Chain A
């Protein structure tokens, strides 16, 4: 059975997830799996359920039904230790960064290293600085979130997730809260991760990025996955897919706004 193989071979797999919030069915039997080197992209209109789906995968939102498997092991969602184990192995990047406002960049990263990984203060700070360096922010270590630009905040958030050595990253529209000129520096970091084979599930509307790096595109609408295939199939100009239709509308909007900012793939542009 392909489904069972999927679960066994995948690093992380969410199967048949359904969620009801306030009497509304928000997710209707959706599934996704990520293996080594996968970059799966969720696309779909606002309110489709992308954020909810991503947060179900690491159980920030409890599901009504469905299962999560980490490296083939089914997660016991009623067990806190089991949930913490899942979350330590699955990093998450949020649309609005969610940095801890009372901690500096380096402290934002070292906190969980100390509390969850039980590193000493020194080791945690060393590691945190390494991660900041990796996202090109070594010289911003002592600044508080309020002193950083949006792009810098998101890079700190990525560094914070990476410091936990996650096996998979979940990214929820990591560039949508950013001014256009700051999108590039964050995408450059994500590009770099993809190049190093970090498995990711990402909700994004950065279509150039999707075309060049996604291994699979899942189009969501009203809580269901409607289409699912390789980007060059779904986005082929001859395709009649809902995905292509949706993306061409996005493109039109953007062209009206102005020409889209070019994605810079140069390594960690420093600001």
Chain B
């Protein structure tokens, strides 16, 4: 049994990890899309909403940021049944990731929203625009551009912490790797390959993010004002 046996890799490891990566993507992609929108909304609420709503959103973010993700996952999956809420492993993991990435992204969005110059808001008001028109057409499009680097980082983290889904028995890339490793007693090779899969995902994500940043870039915008 030699190290890096090609047939072991192609027959055992790669097929299972290929299944696993699809399960991972089924978590990561909705978490990015829903969590991202949730983060934008939360950021807007935290900056522009009325007091009570703002306090609730701030409190929510403080809790999510203050409690380890592992504990949140366990509460959602093992804790909620005590109050008769039953989530599937997938739903529990997805919810936890949405909350987590949304809360962190709302921090970046919030900072970016606050950085938009007061003068542009006044200009919008002076043209007769309503508060919500100013928020959605002037402030948010600029804030998103400024928040992209930070939010992009958060997406990279999300890809990595999606590996915690195995805690709630949702088998994705890391879960598959764990199973093969304990069945075959060859953890080194299995986890090395699994690590390469994550590296691959993150390389793609980084590339896509830089494409997005380029696509949304505006002459002199980020340089002149950030």
Contact = CB atoms under 8 A, between A and B. Distances in A.
Interface of A: 55, 58, 60, 80, 84-85, 87-88, 90-92, 94, 96, 98-102, 111-112, 115-116, 143-147, 157, 160-161, 164
Interface string B111-147: 0000001011011111111100100011001100100
A29 B7 CA distance: 89
Interface string B136-172: 0110011001000000000000000000000000000
Given A115-B137, A144-B218, A146-B221, A100 B123 contact: yes
A147 B122 contact: no
A121 to B, nearest CB: 13
Contacts of B220: 144-147
A88 B137 CA distance: 17
Nearest to A157: B123
A92 B126 contact: yes
A150 to B, nearest CB: 13
Contacts of A87: 125-128
Contacts of A90: 126
B126 A60 contact: yes
Contacts of B129: 84, 112, 115-116
B224 interface: yes
B225 interface: yes
B66 interface: no
14 contacts: A55-B122, A85-B128, A87-B125, A87-B127, A88-B128, A99-B120, A99-B123, A112-B128, A144-B218, A144-B219, A144-B221, A146-B220, A147-B220, A160-B127
Contacts of A96: 119
A98 B122 contact: yes
Nearest to B221: A101
B120 A164 contact: no
Contacts of A94: 119, 122-123
Given A115-B129, A115-B133, A116-B129, A146 B224 contact: yes
Nearest to A114: B137
Given A98-B123, A101-B120, A116 B221 contact: no
Nearest to B142: A102
From A87, A100, A160, A164, residue with most partner B Cβ within 10 Å: A100
Nearest to A164: B127
Given A87-B125, A112-B124, 12 more contacts: A60-B122, A84-B128, A85-B128, A98-B117, A100-B120, A100-B142, A101-B224, A102-B141, A112-B128, A144-B218, A144-B219, A164-B127
A88 B127 CA distance: 6
Contacts of A85: 128
Contacts of B133: 115-116
Contacts of B120: 98-101
Nearest to A96: B119
Nearest to B140: A102
Contacts of B123: 92, 94, 98-100, 157, 160
Contacts of B122: 55, 60, 94, 98
Nearest to A93: B126
From A55, A85, A102, A160, residue with most partner B Cβ within 10 Å: A102
Given A94-B119, A94-B122, A147 B219 contact: yes
Contacts of A88: 127-128
Given A101-B142, A102-B142, A91 B126 contact: yes
B127 A98 contact: no
A55 B124 CA distance: 13
A146 B225 CA distance: 10
A101 B126 contact: no
Contacts of A80: 130
Contact of B125 (A60, A146, A147, A164): A60
B120 to A, nearest CB: 5
B72 to A, nearest CB: 36
